[in-house]
């Protein structure tokens, strides 16, 4: 089962103004072939379908725990897109005849404004919907681990490219963090493959070869030791991760790899503004007050 915590894995900066162009680029990191929806669903179905769980327990636990982290990555990327789209992009009018969404006409990611109410959608940067065709779950442990290693390397390439496309602070906070955490997963799968096959996959890392320390927003997470940590994302289960995740860090600053109980400390989930011209969420101030009064909760008004 999954247990949900109402926090993001990190704190996200809030852009002062909407940045739809950056949001459109980040969509690739959500619903692209190498996006977080792909890493999540690959590992999730592999963990569901894993055979001989007891006999191969450490490898099952590795894929299962990374699955849980990827669920949070999907949430984090979606929220980054949302904060980049937060606020009015046009004249702010609530009169539809004033064409308040005119500026969206010139944007390549119109899907964020039409399919979504200025929010993330399960699609890539071109608006192509994410598909289960991106999921690989062969049932063969080595095959699946090799695929996962490749998937993390491909995902890293796309994060590096998006990082270089935009100086948006939220986008860079996201990509810097994911560069470090994705490297953790690539190392984990490399170590698992070496345990099974004897092949030292670590010699290939990092792919691409540019080190995380060259990215300021990634370097700060490595300086904090995030590259050393593999989280269990569980209260009591997945106790055998240290059979694989152990020893000195093969990439990044020196240190010993460690399995961390529970989850990251995380940060607050953004409370997005109303966008009346998008009918999102579709309530006026009086309706908010009425719902708050009737259901007896604090609406923050």
Binding-site residue positions for Mn(2+): 36, 70, 73, 152, 185
Q: Is cis: bond before 208, omega within 30 of 0? A: yes
Residue 182: partners with Cβ closer than 8 Å, 6 or more residues away: 152, 155, 156, 159
CA distances for 48 relative to 15, 39, 51, 52, angstroms: 38, 14, 9, 12
Q: Are 138 and 144 in contact (CB under 8 A)?
A: yes
- b/e 34-63 (16+ beta carbons within 10 angstroms → b): bbbbbbbbbbbbbbeebeeeeeeebbbbbb
Which segments are annotated as binding site for Ca(2+)? Answer: 234
- Gap between the Cα atoms of 48 and 228, Å rounded: 27
Residue 117: partners with Cβ closer than 8 Å, 6 or more residues away: 275, 278, 279, 280, 281
Q: Is cis: bond before 53, omega within 30 of 0? A: no
Which segments are annotated as binding site? Answer: 36, 70, 73, 152, 185, 234
Residue 221: partners with Cβ closer than 8 Å, 6 or more residues away: 176, 177, 180, 181, 227
Q: Are 82 and 272 in contact (CB under 8 A)?
A: yes
């Amino acid at each position: 089962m999954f247990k949900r915590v109402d926090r993001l894995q990190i704190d996200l900066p809030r852009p002062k103004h909407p940045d739809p162009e950056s949001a459109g680029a980040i969509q690739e990191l959500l619903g692209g072939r190498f996006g977080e929806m792909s890493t999540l669903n690959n590992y999730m179905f592999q963990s569901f379908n894993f055979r001989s769980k007891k006999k191969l327990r450490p490898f099952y636990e590795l894929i299962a725990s990374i699955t849980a982290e990827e669920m949070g990555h999907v949430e984090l990327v979606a929220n980054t897109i949302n904060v980049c789209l937060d606020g009015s992009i046009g004249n702010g009018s609530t009169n539809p005849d004033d064409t308040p969404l005119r500026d969206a006409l010139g944007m390549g990611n119109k899907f964020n404004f039409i399919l979504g109410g200025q929010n993330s959608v399960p699609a890539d940067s071109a608006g192509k919907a994410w598909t289960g065709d991106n999921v690989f779950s062969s049932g063969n442990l080595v095959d699946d681990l090799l695929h996962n290693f490749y998937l993390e390397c491909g995902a890293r390439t796309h994060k590096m490219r998006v990082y270089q496309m935009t100086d948006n602070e939220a986008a860079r906070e996201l990509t810097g963090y994911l560069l470090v955490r994705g490297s953790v997963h690539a190392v984990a799968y490399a170590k698992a493959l070496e345990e099974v096959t004897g092949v030292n996959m670590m010699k290939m890392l990092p792919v691409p070869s540019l080190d995380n320390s060259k990215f300021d927003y990634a370097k700060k997470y490595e300086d904090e030791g995030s590259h050393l940590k593999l989280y269990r994302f569980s209260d009591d289960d997945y106790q055998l991760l240290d059979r694989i995740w152990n020893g000195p860090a093969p990439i990044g600053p020196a240190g010993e790899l460690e399995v961390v109980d529970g989850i990251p400390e995380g940060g607050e989930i953004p409370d997005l503004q109303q966008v009346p011209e998008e009918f999102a969420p579709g309530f006026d101030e009086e309706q908010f007050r009425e719902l708050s009064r009737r259901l007896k909760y604090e609406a923050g008004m």
